[in-house]
Structure 1
Amino acid sequence: MANSNLKFGVYTEMNCMPGVDTAEAVWDVIGHIEQCDRLGYDVYMAIEHHFFPTFGQSSNPLALFSAAAQRTQKIRFRTLCHTLPLHTPTVLAGEIATADVLTGGRLDLGFGRGHAWLYKLAGIPYEESQPRYEEAQEIIMKALTEERFSFHGNKYVVDDVTVYPRPVQAKMPVYLTGTSGRSFRFAAERGWGISVGGPAPYPIFVNAMKEYRDACAKAGHKPIVSWIQPVHIAPTENEAQEQARTAAPYFYHQIAKPILSIDQKADRERLLAAGYGFYASDAMNRMLELTYDDILAQDMVWVGTPAQIANKVADFLAKEELDEFAIQVLPRGPQGGLTLEQHRRVHELFAKEVMPAFK
């Protein structure tokens, strides 16, 4: 089952749980990135997320990566995802270019619309999300690849613009994220990758991944698929299960809390019309009720020894052809999360005792 081309990564939402200082949580992640670079991971990924720290306080991943690049040697950095409708695209393009310079050309791009609960607090209507998203993608790619460009759309109009500084990379790798077949077909047509998984279970993504691969074949592009899987590893199965029994439900209950900020009943039609039907459903609400047994039954978190996790990776690779496999580690927190030492041990055990079987 070894695949020397398979890359490995780590994904974080920068969860900041109750009782953890927000600044300390940022420096935790800088330390994690340094550790992952030493351990030989290929890429470190962070979401862009605002306003709800238990889901994630990763409000400026480009700044995070620019700082971490000064402390690391090889690891690449990827935002999953830049929430494009929240930004002025020409300004974001300049920020991306600066981060590419500061990371020495180790930056990947990730685009998405982000979570529906961000829009009210950002002062942007749901209805603006999709058109802003699609036009912003085009503007950013033009800004990063063309010396001067113009763009005339329904939401944005710019004439004869050059973004400075110029990026180091002539062509940055691009990944789209989400659950939508439409979005993934868009990625396939442009030869971009997709990144799927994370806290949500595998069945949500099966059809979208197939649509992406079919669209890649039609467009003549090679599929590039990155899968993110929450894991908890310990030297013994008993230890792994004992720690995860508290930490896994705690994680899901905390990250589901932002759904309570949306008036799902009153906003239902607007959410559906904006392509945010997931947030009009009770899918996130059910996460608030998940038990440990529910989480294990749906493979939402893999729990076990390094050998057991390696077997799960092998089984997954037998049904899905991947270019990259990334882990998401359960967060720390004094009211139910892992300790900092346990969190970092997962990085180490996966790198030293799981990854070598697939290289």
Structure 2
Amino acid sequence: MRDSVVLTLAAAPLVAATWALRLACESEEARESEEGVCHGYLAHPTLTLHTLIFLTYVLGFWAHSLVAGSTWLLDAARPLLPISIQLYYLSHPRAVHSERMVIGAALIIMWALRLFRAHGRRYEWALSSKEDWRRADLREAFGKWWPAASLPVAFIAEQGAACARCLPLRSLAGFAGAGVPFLPSFEDESDDVAALNVDAPLGLADTGALAVALVGLALAFKADEELLTYIRSADKKKPPVYTEGLWRLSRHPNRLGEHLWWLALAGAACCANGGFCPTALGPLIVCFGDASVDIPLLDRHVAMRRERIKAWMAYAERVPALWPTPGSVLRFFKPAASEAKKGE
């Protein structure tokens, strides 16, 4: 109960700031102003959003970690930030509501519910019981410098990754350009918003992006359920490494589902833009970083456990880290009994 209250309070400042800006900048006088907070909010919505996230989400969560002695809130609240970003764009006075925006909002909610459920069940809803091992290792490595180092290393880094992944939501809100200083919209030097033609009907590309997003959600959900069943199994003879179900297709099928989902969102942004748009680069960069840095780090963490080394090395030799290969696809569809017989 206490963790739920903390989580709710953690999300409140960003949501409150979003609605306060919306109400303060609704008047005609505020819309015509060429300076001040309302001008920044209306002319540079994404830059304003990043500032709000830093002042509420980053600094607030950092302060909580200093008091609690743990960064558990970052993982527990990870689903909340994309929802808050979607709410910000939905409520923005210059947003152009469309079918794509509504579908994107629904998908964001589905994604957040899946991730929150998976994280909660993994820790049996004791959200503050354990800190992510990566940040626990960093805490030990930085020692007494961790309170200061954690701000850029953990919290600002989390904001950067989340905001990059969510950049396509800007395009789905009808805003052209990337909305960040290094990729501005060049329509007007004093205005970062250039409206897209959101009246264009949904097409085959939109259908393809939606299908990939749903497949990604289903894949991640199923993989999480399989892994949780294995972890909670009381069978003393269970193998040290889970290699069944979707985990025969990829060593990280839940991450594969996540990548498919975010890449589908990038594709939806391109559909809204009528072609490739800068906002699609956000998920592409984050997915590349996850595949090239975080997944190898996770593999090394798992392989370092003495009781798993041999089983993990054999598993890693035949199953790809993320994207399935023809061999792993064939093994996935091969009956388990046939594969067991072949190994005898």
Q: Which has the higher contact order (CA 8 A, sep 6+)?
A: 1
Task: Compute the TM-score of the two structures, normalised by the length of structure 2.
Answer: 0.25
Task: Compute the TM-score of the two structures, normalised by the length of structure 1.
Answer: 0.25
Larger Rg: 2
More helix by share: 2
